Amino acid sequence: KQEVTQIPAALSVPEGENLVLNCSFTDSAIYNLQWFRQDPGKGLTSLLLIQSSQREQTSGRLNASLDKSSGRSTLYIAASQPGDSATYLCAVPHGSGNTGKLIFGQGTTLQVKP
């Protein structure tokens, strides 16, 4: 059974700092991995999608890496800003295909202090 874990559960950093969020999964036979952002009381915003054949994806100050063999993904945020404060979730599809049914980690709640 696939399990997704995110560490740390919460993180507080001063503005401008670079930071790394971690995501691990128990079954390496994933089709892709997706990172989301969730603001309090809101839905999810898709940040990055990494296919199983890819090692990393970049969007602006965000860089997500994927190491299937070790069951890990990281989300790197450069030059953090107060507006980055939110909960970040990683998710993988249920099973080995792209089913659209996602298994989520518990999330990392990030606070960036001005």
Partner 1 sequence: GAVVSQHPSWVICKSGTSVKIECRSLDFQATTMFWYRQFPKQSLMLMATSNEGSKATYEQGVEKDKFLINHASLTLSTLTVTSAHPEDSSFYICSARIPSGSNSPLHFGNGTRLTVT
Looking at residues 25 to 44 of the shown chain, list those that interact with partner 1 (rule: CB under 8 A).
32, 34, 36, 41-44
Q: Is 60 in the site for partner 1 (CB under 8 A)?
A: no
Q: Is 75 in the site for partner 1 (CB under 8 A)?
A: no
Q: Using DSSP, state whether 82 is helix, strand or coil.
A: helix
> Under the criterion CB under 8 A, does residue 108 sit at the interface with partner 1?
no
The answer for residues whose C-beta is within 8 angstroms of residue 28's C-beta and 6 or more apart is 68, 69, 70, 71
Q: 72 vs 94, which CB is nearer to partner 1?
A: 94
* Stretch of residues binding partner 1 (CB under 8 A), selected from 17-25, 60-68, 78-86, 92-100: 92-100
Does the CA dihedral 68-99-101-35 come out positive or negative? positive
The residue length of the chain stands at 114
